[in-house]
Amino acid sequence: MDGFKQEIVKALKKELKISEQEISDLMEMPSNPELGDYAFPCFRLAGVIKKAPNKIASELQEKVKAKNVVEVRAAGPYLNFFVDKKELAKATIEKILAEKKNFGRGSSSKKIVIEYPSPNTNKPLHLGHVRNMLLGKSVSRLLEFQGNKVIQVNLNNDRGVHICKAMLAYKLWGEGRKPEKKPDHFVGDFYVLYAKKAEEKPELEEEVQTMLRKWEKGDKETIELWKKISGWAKKGFEETYEKFGIKFEKTYNESEHYKEGKQIVKAAFKDGMLKKDKEGNIIAELKKKGLPDKVLLRKDGTSVYMTQDINLAKIKYKDFRMDRSIYVVGTEQILHFKQLLKIIDILKIKAGELYHLAYGMVYLPEGRMKSREGKVVDADDLVEGIIALAKDEVKKRHELKDGELDERAKQIGMGALNFFILKYDTPKDFIFNPEESIALEGETGPYIQYAHARICSVFKKHGKSPAKIDYEKLKEKEEIMLLKILGRFPHAAKEAAEQYKPQIVSRYLLELSQQFNEFYHQHQVLKAEDSLRDTRLALLEAVRQVIRNGLYLLSIDAPEEM
RNA sequence: GGACCCGUAGCCUAGCCUGGAUAGGGCGACAGCCUUCUAAGCUGUAGAUCCUGGGUUCGAAUCCCAGCGGGUCCGCCA
């Protein structure tokens, strides 16, 4: 809570019989800033004091006196407070300029492991993974910014029937070729080829099963083939991760630990924590907890996905001893993770507090993406396309050397992509229309980057840091609005982290940039008289800093020129 | 059949958890603003049964119930 609000709450407390916490919770920011800077609605009090809210407000108006508040005005049932603008400007700007990139940082200190994007190693990453990666990265930064220790890990789903499909197709029709393109794309082609051939020859399915059994037995030739295929896929992923600027402290491979889950389940069964169903499968009884029962070990002794997840949760905890463990996985697996949580609980496994960060599906205009049919928006193509688009726009405005042009286009293009995806509420599905979705105008990453570049440009032109600062000079509506928005940044960052919603930061930055653009349009900085100019420069310095801090949380670059 | 999520202008979206002062933005449309610190910008106009019907409340987009519409999941797939 900021200092101004605190003073008002204290002053109100003297007149009221409710706690400071209650008063603080009731306080709002008026929708229309002309009404005041803070507001206290008196509806709730009416029941206690037995007077009309209007009357309560007008009576309080006379009594309440708070530090740094220049006027208290009753407006119907609201009691509105006007703070000293000079003090507001001083407190806000000085704090930001002193704390710089730490402005807004929190004081939490948990150890948190976050797992993403956990791809299958039989096809390249697509748009769904893009959402996953951008979300995972941004949430990592949000949590870190709150003071937590964040450990980013990845999991390769590198075994199973889907991998065998790509392997089989390569074996039958690959002619021993080496990748002549990005290796994960090369692998993906064979996965699609398998699906095509299998339509005509359903008996291929049998061969896949045979291959899977051979793999599980450790058949030398099959393992060699598997190493080749999954190795290529992983190598391709590394390149894509680099484009998105993500790095993992540890990467798990399903192939390395999928067997151990069985032991955990067997032991738990022996201890009576799990039951057998009629057919002899070992199951977790979840019905009484409101969820469907879950098979953990088939009667033939083979394990299921859930069994591996139990094991991995255990391994992760052994590796990191974290307080919390986050899984960035799509909404279609909500039930799966609800079950996992309960099972971990039943088995009394220490795994930290588990959290499924569920994100909505990304659809194409023609419907769901289908990797098997190759109907996807490929992550690499998407990046390439958006950067090319940004490049054209940069060229329209500037003549740059190739290296500089590429760098600028990359910052702007990736900024646009990042913002586009993070501006949607996390659990919501959305339709991605390649032609229409990526815009560089309106509510976009470049809009915010542009505000930042404009500020940089003012400073470049001026060439000196502000010297004659007089906070009294900031009186314009647009200036006051900027100050108020700036003051809200720590709260926005905190909310975003607590709710795992980068969107809150996106919306905040739009509001700040919008307000800056309005100010910029309306008022001159460099042509104002010396002390007004310098004070405005200090204000802009603060705006620039907060835009940078916010963009950092969304992992978007802030170029100095555009 | 059961569980979960969603329904706000032609389109996209915020607000919903924690109920209050004229429901914010953006795209598209229309009308304007570059001899002024970058027009990737700014201003204005038109455009909303906040899915429907009940209920709670002094007050509901927001909370509760029912219904309608869309999505996801409920496999010994991952």
pLDDT bin (cut points 50, 70, 90) of residue A533 is very high
Question: Do residues A297 and A265 touch, judged by C-beta distance below 8 A?
Answer: yes
- The least confident of A44-58, A276-290, A442-456 is A44-58
pLDDT at A304: 86
pLDDT digits (tens, 9 = 90+) for A76-98: 899 999 999 999 999 999 999 99
What pLDDT is stored for residue A241 in this prediction?
98
d(CA A160, CA A249): 25
Q: Show contacts of A176-184: CB within 8 Å, 24+ apart.
A: A179/A232, A182/A124, A182/A236, A182/A239, A182/A380, A183/A232, A183/A233, A183/A235, A183/A236, A184/A123, A184/A124, A184/A125, A184/A232, A184/A233, A184/A234, A184/A235, A184/A236, A184/A237, A184/A240
Look at residue A190 in the predicted model and tell me its pLDDT: 95
- Residue numbers in A 130-159, CB below 7 Å of strand B: 157, 159
Distance A38 CA to B25 C1' (A): 23
Query: Cβ of A439 < 7 Å from strand B?
Result: yes
Q: Tally the residues of chain A.
A: 562
Instruction: Tell me the torsion sign for CA atoms A437, A443, A449, A454.
Output: positive
Please give the structure tokens belonging to residue A38. Answer: 């803070």
Q: What is the pLDDT of residues A412-441, one digit of tens each?
A: 999 999 999 999 999 999 888 877 788 999
Cβ of A363 near strand B (under 7 Å)? The reply is no
Taking the C1' atom of every nucleotide in all shown strands and the CA of A33, the nearest one is B21
Strand B proximal to A454 Cβ, under 7 A: yes
Residue A372 confidence (pLDDT) above 60: yes
- State how far the Cα of A543 lies from the Cα of A539, in Å rounded to an integer: 6
**Mean pLDDT, rounded, of chain A:** 93
Q: Does residue A327 surpass a pLDDT of 90?
A: yes
Question: What is the rounded CA–CA span in Å between residue A460 and residue A51?
Answer: 59
Q: What is the mean pLDDT of residues A405-417?
A: 96
Q: What share of chain A is helix, strand, coil (3-state, %, to 5)?
A: 60, 15, 30
* pLDDT band at A34; cut points 50, 70, 90: confident
Question: Distance (Å, rounded) from C-alpha A112 to C-alpha A326?
Answer: 7
pLDDT at A387: 95
State the pLDDT confidence band at A251, using cuts at 50, 70 and 90.
very high
Q: Could you tell me the pLDDT band of residue A499, with boundaries at 50, 70 and 90?
A: very high
CB atoms within 10 A of CB A298: 14
Alpha-carbon distance of A320 to A351, in angstroms, equals 10
| Residue A180 pLDDT greater than 90, yes or no | yes
Q: What is the pLDDT of residue A365?
A: 79
Closest CA to A435 of A378, A480, A386: A386
Q: Is the CB of A259 under 7 A from strand B?
A: no
In terms of C-beta distances under 8 Å and separation of at least 24 residues, what long-range contacts does A295-301 make, across chains too?
Answer: A296/A265, A296/A343, A297/A262, A297/A265, A297/A266, A297/A269, A301/A262
* Mean of pLDDT values over A22-42: 88
Rounded percentage of chain A residues whose pLDDT exceeds 70: 100
- Report yes or no: A507 and A552 within 8 Å, Cβ to Cβ: no
pLDDT at A1 over 70: no
Checking if the pLDDT of A43 tops 90, the result is no
Residue at token pair 């599906």: A361
Q: Where are the domains of chain A?
A: 3-83, 111-258+303-373, 260-302, 379-553
Tell me the CA end-to-end span of chain A in Å, nearest whole number.
36
How far is residue A26 from each of residues A5, A36, A45, A59, A440, measured CA to CA in Å?
A: 11, 15, 10, 18, 39
- Residue A365 near residue A335 (C-beta atoms within 8 A): no
**How many CA within 13 A on the CB side of residue A260?**
12
What is the mean pLDDT of the segment spanning A240-269?
Answer: 93
pLDDT of residue A368: 79
Domain A3-83 is found in CATH 3.30.1360.70: yes
Q: What are the pLDDT digits (tens) for A188-226?
A: 999 999 999 998 888 899 999 999 989 988 999 999 999
Looking at residue A171, its amino acid is: K
Residue A279 predicted with pLDDT over 90:
no
Q: Are A294 and A286 in contact (CB under 8 A)?
A: yes
| Interface ipTM | 0.95
The pLDDT-based confidence of A443 (bands split at 50, 70, 90) is: very high
CATH superfamily of A111-258+303-373: HUPs (3.40.50.620)
Average pLDDT over residues A371-392: 89
Q: Would you place residue A531 in the very low, low, confident or very high pLDDT band (cuts 50, 70, 90)?
A: very high
Q: CA A427 – C1' B7 distance (Å)?
A: 15
Give the pLDDT score at A434.
76
Q: Which nucleotides of chain B does any protein CB come within 7 A of?
A: 3-6, 12-15, 17, 20-22, 25-28, 36-43, 58-59, 71-78
Architecture of the domain spanning A379-553: Orthogonal Bundle (1.10)
The pLDDT value recorded for residue A112 is: 98
In this prediction, residue A501 carries a pLDDT of: 96
pLDDT-derived band at A301 (thresholds 50, 70, 90) equals confident
Average pLDDT over every residue of A241-250: 97
Give the mean pLDDT of A312-341. Answer: 96
- Flag residues 367-426 of A with CB < 7 Å from strand B: 368, 390, 393-394, 397, 408, 412, 423-425
Which spans in A258-353 are helix H? 261-270, 305-320, 334-346
pLDDT for residue A17? 81
A108 touches strand B (CB under 7 A): no
Whole-number percent of chain A with pLDDT over 90: 77
Contact A243, A383 (CB under 8 A): yes
